[in-house]
Amino acid sequence: MKRTLIKHVLESDQIGGRVKVAGWVRTRRDSKGGFSFLELNDGSSFAGVQIVVPGEIENYESEILNVTIGSAVAVTGELVESPGSGQRVEIHAGNVHVYGYADPDDYPLQKKQIGFERLRELAHLRPRTNTFGAMARVRNALAYATHRFYQERDFLYLHTPMITASDAEGAGEMFQVTTLDVGAPPRVDDAVDYSQDFFGRPTFLTVSGQLEAEAYALALDRVYTFGPTFRAENSNTRRHLAEFWMIEPEVAFADLSDNADLAEAYVRYLFQYILDHCSTDLEFFNKWVDDGLLARLDSIASADFRRITYTDAVEVLSKAEVAFDYPVDWGVDLQSEHERYLTEVAFEQPLIVTDYPSDIKAFYMRRNDDGKTVAAMDVLVPGVGEIVGGSQREERHDVLYESIVAKGLPVDDYWWYLDLRRFGSVPHAGFGLGFGRIVQFATGMQNIRDAIPFPRTPNSAEF
């Protein structure tokens, strides 16, 4: 008999019909009336299905009474209306096949709640919990919504390389990729001889696909990347991972305003999508993780983002009647406490801050006419902080060249990037969005390590 996913069983109106389901047992409750209840979950939905196992089936004593939390079973039976109060329908089992037991002496998950920190040590089993099942479904929905959003707008999904030779943004520690014997690499003089390495030169895991995305945007008009990126920073916060997924759209013939429009439309689309498609999971997060979650997602999906220039933001901050640890002054980057004040106190909504001082921003951002600022933007949201960083790119060859030199970067490495400005250059813009931070915000999970299946952080790559 063909197996049905539990989510479909729960929606089914085929009362009296035969169904087959399979999954992992969440609880077994015995009745001395001579039968047992199993709650079975297969991850297809938040709710599991209740199985009523009559004592008459042949393996009841020998097997069913040994089924405990974590065991895997398949059940064939009749779908009936449930007389109990916790569910609309249930399955009266005619046959239960046990695929695998989970010895309760060793199985670490319990009916009772386990702390998130402990569950990180059980990353291979935590998807069997309510929270991480819900997280995985919401994360999946956000990924699907991402593709749908861009595909609906004629963006081309672009695969940029994971291994690169250059440090794309001139900032951030990178993981080196090598096939050399790290214990005894070949040497010329005192230096490692990278001409003998796999690529004949030092290579690294990418920190961004942006530069490559620009090349394709300047041929195919609008593209987006969606893939893993890597930062070897020794940063240990609840918002950072060493390996994280990023979405980077890049659009030709677009300026900073177009870019902000796109970022806002995308973020709002994501939240509206999960509100429409993940309501049960979100209600769970709203009840157990973050009680303001649904209201916040709803308000963000339905209201315009506030836009403000860096200069005006500094003005707001300098008038704030709050004692900041770091002084606010035009020319220095906004600190986390400043961003939090702006988005959580001053405006209480997502905020797009634009036109930052050029000295604190990357070389590829377009210089504004005032000579002091660049066409950069950050999208800030309450609770998580910066989720989007982007800019209009410098399309003028000479200005870009000067900027690379001024930042002390190796001009030769950027020959092909500069080439894009020599041949048919046009204004273009794009941004990067940290997918984990969106998942974090969308679920209310406090720590980004709990917003990705297998987090990679300093000292942690067990799974």
89 binds RNA (CB under 7 A): no
CB of 105 to RNA, least distance (A): 5
Q: Which is nearer to RNA, 92 or 397 (CB)?
A: 92
240 binds RNA (CB under 7 A): yes
Identified binder of RNA from the candidate list 14, 140, 151, 336, rule CB under 7 A: 336
Q: Which is nearer to RNA, 312 or 333 (CB)?
A: 333
Q: Are 353 and 370 in contact (CB under 8 A)?
A: no
Identified binder of RNA from the candidate list 126, 137, 139, 239, rule CB under 7 A: 239
The first and second tokens of residue 422, run together, are 């020599």
The first and second tokens of residue 327, run together, are 């002084």
Q: Are 28 and 38 in contact (CB under 8 A)?
A: yes
Is the CA virtual torsion 14, 17, 23, 29 positive or negative? positive
x-marked contacts with RNA along 20-39 as a string, rule CB under 7 A = -------x-xxxxx---x-x
449 binds RNA (CB under 7 A): yes
Distance between first and last Cα of the chain = 36
244: which strand partners?
229
The first and second tokens of residue 261, run together, are 């429009």
97 binds RNA (CB under 7 A): no
Q: Which is nearer to RNA, 309 or 446 (CB)?
A: 446
Q: Which of residues 199-238 bind RNA (CB under 7 A)?
A: 208, 231, 233-238
Return the C-alpha torsion angle 251, 255, 259, 261, nearest 10.
Answer: -120
Which residue stretch of 151-159, 279-287, 415-423, 455-463 sits at the interface with RNA (rule: CB under 7 A)? 455-463
102-131 in b/e burial notation, b at 16+ Cβ within 10 A? Answer: beeeeeebeeeebebeebbebbebbbbbbb
68 binds RNA (CB under 7 A): yes
59 binds RNA (CB under 7 A): no
333 binds RNA (CB under 7 A): yes
x-marked contacts with RNA along 102-121 as a string, rule CB under 7 A = --xx--x-xxxxxx-xx-x-
Residue 332: name the closest of 314, 346, 320, 316 by CA: 314
Measured CA to CA in angstroms, residue 255 lies from 247, 260, 395, 423 at distances of 19, 9, 11, 19
x-marked contacts with RNA along 384-413 as a string, rule CB under 7 A = -xxxxx------------------------
Residue 241: name the closest of 58, 17, 457, 95 by CA: 457
Q: Which is nearer to RNA, 197 or 268 (CB)?
A: 268
Residue type, 25: V
92 binds RNA (CB under 7 A): yes
DSSP string, 54-76: ETTSTTTTTTGGG--TT-EEEEE
Q: Which of residues 120-159 bind RNA (CB under 7 A)?
A: 120
460 binds RNA (CB under 7 A): yes
x-marked contacts with RNA along 172-191 as a string, rule CB under 7 A = x-------------------
CB of 12 to RNA, least distance (A): 16
280 binds RNA (CB under 7 A): no
